[in-house]
Amino acid sequence: MSVDLVSRALAFATAAHASVDQRRKYSNESYIVHPIAVAEIVRTVPHTPEMIAAAFLHDTVEDCGIKIDDIDAEFGVQVAELVGWLTDVSVPADGNRAARKAIDLAHTAKAPPPAKTIKLADLIDNTLTIKERDPDFWRVYRHEKLRLLDVLREGDATLWARAAAQCV
């Protein structure tokens, strides 16, 4: 059942990102490479099948028009809750990037440790491309990431240290 959950989540996320032709900003690769990388990072630390499924699905609500209720119906409440914690809650009407990121930071701060572990994996993978390919944005992103790291200490300690080391 758990392998089925994970394989179904990968298939669902692949189809969702493909349906909007989402691409990685710097490489133009199919977007699913990012959720796959996040899931692979999560696999390196203690995890559950629900965490891997949520890693695959973590951007589908924000980017693909998928509803949390759809995730719940397809993958169950545990996966849906994790995806909910990993989904930004701010909207453009909330103000500029700094204002929106503050709202999202407050949301992330309340997340349970498994969601924080997935978020750390997300930060690690995003940092790899941003730091290398967009030095100007890296200065903004680094500041946001340092603030996030302050509220992600309940996530996996190994991933937290790895994410923090990227900011040096």
Task: Express each pLDDT in 18-51 by its tens digit.
Answer: 999 999 888 889 999 999 999 999 999 999 999 9
Helix (H, G, I), strand (E, B) or coil at 115: helix
Q: Where are the alpha helices (DSSP H) in the chain?
A: 2-19, 33-43, 49-57, 60-64, 68-75, 77-86, 97-109, 113-133, 135-151, 157-165
pLDDT digits (tens, 9 = 90+) for 57-85: 999 999 999 999 999 999 999 999 999 99
Give the number of other CB atoms < 10 A from CB of residue 127. 19
Q: Which of 4, 21, 40, 62 is labelled catalytic? A: 62
How far is it, in rounded angstroms, from Cα 35 to Cα 64? 13
Is 154 one of the catalytic residues? no
2-165 folds as Hypothetical protein af1432 (1.10.3210)
Question: Count of alpha carbons within 13 Å of 96, Cβ hemisphere only?
Answer: 1
Helix (H, G, I), strand (E, B), or coil: what is residue 30? strand
The yes-or-no answer on residue 136 being catalytic is no
Q: Is the pLDDT of residue 1 over 60?
A: no
Q: Which residue is catalytic, options 63, 70, 104, 154?
A: 63
The pTM for the full model equals: 0.95
